[in-house]
Structure 1
Amino acid sequence: MEIIRYAALKPRPWRNGGGVTREVARFPQPASQGAGDSSWDWRVSIAEMTRAGEFSAFPGMDRVLTVVEGELLLLSVDGAEHPLEQYRPFRFSGDAAAAGALPTGDVRDLNVITRRGAFKGYTSIIELSKKRAHPVFEGQLGILLQGQAAVTPGTADGSASEAGPEPLDRYDAVVGSDSASPEILGRGFLAVVSIDPVTD
């Protein structure tokens, strides 16, 4: 079972100085530290936006952006304004000219960016339960957005795992698996990010 701890992620400042981004996961991994920033087919990150400004363009990519902290992000995409409230995923093209305004203050957002024609990304927000565990499957990340939760490793045969639960902190991510799907129990909200290969 793999847990990506948010506290261990390195913040990287935006080029325009309007915020910082922490990369949760990408594919493929860079061959070296000097690899180009767009040398990947998909990336999941969490950004803190502290002032209005333009977003970086990602030609040939599609984006799903979800506000996970803060009240409102006013997103402009090719001149059209979209008010994004918390926990409402919004899909748009990485080719578009995009900018954000912060009418109610700073926001934090979850970004899923996929290379068009190779992968498609989805973000779902679910409410956790203490009685019914939520499994995280292969090709998924489960990211704790709010509340208290713990994850237990699944077993290949579906029997109860002998390993004890691992507590999750806010924005920790659980990497999914089909052979022994990790299961998350708790109270609060979970983002389930799914990255599906395009087979057409």
Structure 2
Amino acid sequence: MTTSNPALTAGTMVHLADSTKRKWAHGDVREIAAGKLGPDADLLPAEGNSWDWRLSIASIERSGEFTPYEGFDRTLTVIVGELLELTIDGTVQAVEGLRPLKFSGNSTVSAALPTGEVLALNLITRTGVLRGNVRIVELSKKREQHLFGGQLGVLLQGKATVLREETEAPFELRDTMIGGEEDSPRISGRGFMAVVSLDLP
């Protein structure tokens, strides 16, 4: 998949609607962003297909085998739908909504849809080059959630606002905010957000 190369500077909002919808074996996929990680935890855009991490949202509408990603780690989070059943190297894993599951891209993986199609947030990171983590946080209007360097926040449910210095902007459903060390974006509202953290090993 060729990357869309959005700007990844701190405080940038990446709108999912601006990403081209593409077909994949199990449904449709929209790439949020892809790139590398700088030494100061800066997110650097990908150059063509040269990337160490990629974040996307995909529909899983049909059962069947996933394409392997050898040399990468994958973290999958169901964001719409009740349940996805993955068989990973022969072991069945029930993936419930908003519960990230990490597994090796080298694994043999097949999907089943016991409760119907789902929508999933997918993080892929190059093994040994980057470590990726997805954490689901419940947002509050009273307690701000900061996004720091090497972090992206994806609004999964609800309504939220982004604050930087004295500015305030709406945070729309399934859009992504890029974090930063200086004047880190602060998120408040009601709902759930995926905090994607990228670190050097």
1:20-31 → structure 2 map (5 Å cutoff): 20-28=28-36, 29-31=45-47
Q: What SS does structure 2 have at the residue aligned with 1:7? A: helix
Is the partner of 1:96 in helix, strand or coil?
coil
The number of equivalent residue pairs is 183
Structure 1 residue 132: deviation in Å?
1.1
Task: Name the counterpart of 2:15.
Answer: 5
Q: What is the TM-score with the length of structure 1 in the denominator?
A: 0.88
Q: Are 1:175 and 2:178 an aligned pair?
A: yes
Q: Distance in 1 between matches of 2:53 and 2:79?
A: 20
Task: Report the counterpart of residue 196 of structure 1 in structure 2.
Answer: 199
Structure 2 distance, partners of 1:87, 1:79, is: 23
State the Cα distance separating 1:169 from its structure 2 match: 1.4
1:8 partner letter:
D
Task: Name the larger-Rg structure.
Answer: 1
CA RMSD of aligned residues (A): 1.1
Please tell me the residue identity of whatever aligns with 1:21: V
The answer as to 2:49 corresponding to 1:70 is: no
Unaligned runs of 5+ in 1: 154-160
* C-alpha separation in 1, matches of 2:98 and 2:166: 34
Structure 2 residue identity aligned to 1:47: A
Does residue 116 (structure 1) correspond to residue 116 (structure 2)? The answer is: no
d(CA) in 2 for partners of 1:146, 1:87: 10
- Structure 2 residue runs without a partner (length 5+): 1-10, 37-44
Could you tell me which of 81, 90, 109 is aligned with 2:92? 81
Give the secondary-structure state (helix, strand or coil) at the position aligned to 1:121: strand
Map 1:98-177 → 2, pairs under 5 A: 98-153=109-164, 161-163=165-167, 165-177=168-180
Deviation of 1:30 after TM superposition, in Å, equals: 4.3
**Aligned-residue offset at 1:141:** 0.4
Taking every aligned residue pair, what percent have the same amino acid on both sides? Answer: 46
